[in-house]
């Protein structure tokens, strides 16, 4: 394209081409520059390696924290099995009525199993456990109610679902009130969400650090190539042409740094595996450590590329503008 000499386009090779071809050549140039900038990184292997390792390790930390949260969640979901609802039967209900309640409850789709503790059984157990022993014999009547213990199916063991089930069971005619022991579950979940929040915050800080590291690295490389940028501007390079290699470098840093982080996480998990299986063995369970799956790897890489792009984009937008050929 020539602005000054309209006739010049015809004599040179840059004749008016179909638009699709122009886009094709534009993409080709960008890809060519991408490969070229990878080659540039290869020319200074130590410096590139150091930047990549810093990025890799910066990304490893949030990735590891994420894996920790994921595993804790996995383990804690096993704890929910303990969720159990106690239904206290109204005092005036006969033994027969209570038995029909138990049978009816057993047919609920939300309920896995039902067990019944009569007031007499409860008193006996209380005597045995509490240590009051004969003192309780002086009571005129049995003050303890009959209790129906309900274990919900796995779907209804989550705090909210269990609460809903409890509300439903409390509407039963025979039931005085019900009690759901979810306090500790709620505490656990609160702790988990605290953990998640802190992982998120730490992760965010580290990601900002990654942007700054890449931005600074690219800034240094721009300063290093000041002369070259001036010459490029003098021979008619557009800003896009000058910016692209630097942005590519940032993207490459992201890609390789992301892969380094992934490898670090895999190595760490491999290292921890035997320790985890030992702990699991003590608890008589076989727990398998959850790693990063393919989708999460893609997210990690995507994130790393995004960060590389933003970091280099900021540096390029800020510093290349300042380099003009006349300020020699």
Q: How far is the CB of 237 from another protein (least distance, A)?
A: 5
Contacts 24+ apart (CB under 8 A), 175-180: 175/87, 175/88, 175/89, 175/90, 175/101, 175/148, 176/88, 176/89, 176/90, 176/91, 176/145, 177/87, 177/88, 178/85, 178/86, 178/87, 178/88, 179/85, 179/86, 179/88, 180/83, 180/85, 180/86
Piece of 60-68, 69-77, 185-193, 230-238 that binds another protein (CB under 8 A) = 230-238
Q: Indicate which single residue of 186, 228, 273, 322 sits in contact with another protein (rule: CB under 8 A).
A: 228
Query: CA–CA distance from 171 to each of 140, 167, 197 (Å)?
Result: 31, 7, 38
- Tell me the number of residues near another protein by CB under 8 A: 30
Phi-psi region of 278 (alpha: psi -120 to 50; beta: other; left: phi over 0): alpha
Piece of 137-145, 173-181, 235-243, 277-285 that binds another protein (CB under 8 A) = 235-243
Query: Of 307-326, which residues contact another protein (CB under 8 A)?
Result: 324-326
Give the number of other CB atoms < 10 A from CB of residue 127. 15
| Closer of 201 and 238 to another protein (Cβ) | 238
Residue 199 near residue 62 (C-beta atoms within 8 A): yes
Give the number of other CB atoms < 10 A from CB of residue 123. 15
Q: How far is the CB of 35 from another protein (least distance, A)?
A: 13
| Closer of 37 and 146 to another protein (Cβ) | 37
Q: Indicate which single residue of 31, 75, 234, 317 sits in contact with another protein (rule: CB under 8 A).
A: 234
Which residues neighbour 14 within 8 Å (Cβ) at sequence distance 6 or greater?
Answer: 1
Assess 226 for contact with another protein (CB under 8 A): no
Assess 20 for contact with another protein (CB under 8 A): no
| Closer of 3 and 107 to another protein (Cβ) | 3
Piece of 11-19, 61-69, 143-151, 158-166 that binds another protein (CB under 8 A) = 11-19
Which residues neighbour 67 within 8 Å (Cβ) at sequence distance 6 or greater?
Answer: 265, 269, 290, 291, 292
Assess 238 for contact with another protein (CB under 8 A): yes
Assess 233 for contact with another protein (CB under 8 A): yes
Q: Indicate which single residue of 126, 200, 241, 287 sits in contact with another protein (rule: CB under 8 A).
A: 241
Residues in the chain: 328
Q: Indicate which single residue of 191, 237, 263, 288 sits in contact with another protein (rule: CB under 8 A).
A: 237
Binding pattern for the stretch 175-214 against another protein, x by CB under 8 A and - elsewhere:
----------------------------------------
User: Which residue is it, tokens 């009130």?
Assistant: 177
Determine the 3-state secondary structure of 3 from DSSP.
Answer: coil
Residues at the interface with another protein (CB under 8 A): 1-5, 8, 11-14, 25-26, 28-29, 227-228, 230-239, 241, 324-326
């Amino acid at each position: 394209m020539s602005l000054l000499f309209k006739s010049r386009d015809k004599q040179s090779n840059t004749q008016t081409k179909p638009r699709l071809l122009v886009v094709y050549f534009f993409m080709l140039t960008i890809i060519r520059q991408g490969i070229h900038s990878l080659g540039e990184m290869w020319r200074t292997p130590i410096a590139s390696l150091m930047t990549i390792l810093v990025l890799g390790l910066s990304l490893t930390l949030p990735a590891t924290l994420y894996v920790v949260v994921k595993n804790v969640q996995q383990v804690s979901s096993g704890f929910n099995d303990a969720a159990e609802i106690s239904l206290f039967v109204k005092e005036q209900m006969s033994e027969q009525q209570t038995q029909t309640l138990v049978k009816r409850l057993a047919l609920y789709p939300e309920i896995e199993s039902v067990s019944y503790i009569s007031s007499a059984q409860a008193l006996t157990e209380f005597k045995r456990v509490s240590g009051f022993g004969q003192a309780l014999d002086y009571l005129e009547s049995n003050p303890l109610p009959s209790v129906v213990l309900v274990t919900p199916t796995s779907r209804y063991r989550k705090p909210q679902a269990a609460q809903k089930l409890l509300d439903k069971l409390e509407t039963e005619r025979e039931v005085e009130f019900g009690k759901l022991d979810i306090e500790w579950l709620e505490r656990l979940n609160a702790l988990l969400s605290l953990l998640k929040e802190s992982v998120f915050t730490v992760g965010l800080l580290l990601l900002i650090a990654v942007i700054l590291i890449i931005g600074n690295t690219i800034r240094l490389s721009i300063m290093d190539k000041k002369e070259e940028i001036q010459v490029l501007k003098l021979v008619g390079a557009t800003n896009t042409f000058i910016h692209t290699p630097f942005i590519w470098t940032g993207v490459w840093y992201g890609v390789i740094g992301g892969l380094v982080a992934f490898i670090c996480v895999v190595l760490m998990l491999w290292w921890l595996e035997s320790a985890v299986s030992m702990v699991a063995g003590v608890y008589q369970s076989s727990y398998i450590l959850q790693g990063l799956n393919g989708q999460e790897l893609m997210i990690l890489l995507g994130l790393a590329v995004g960060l590389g792009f933003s970091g280099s984009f900021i540096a390029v937008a800020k510093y290349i503008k300042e380099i003009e050929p006349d300020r020699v």
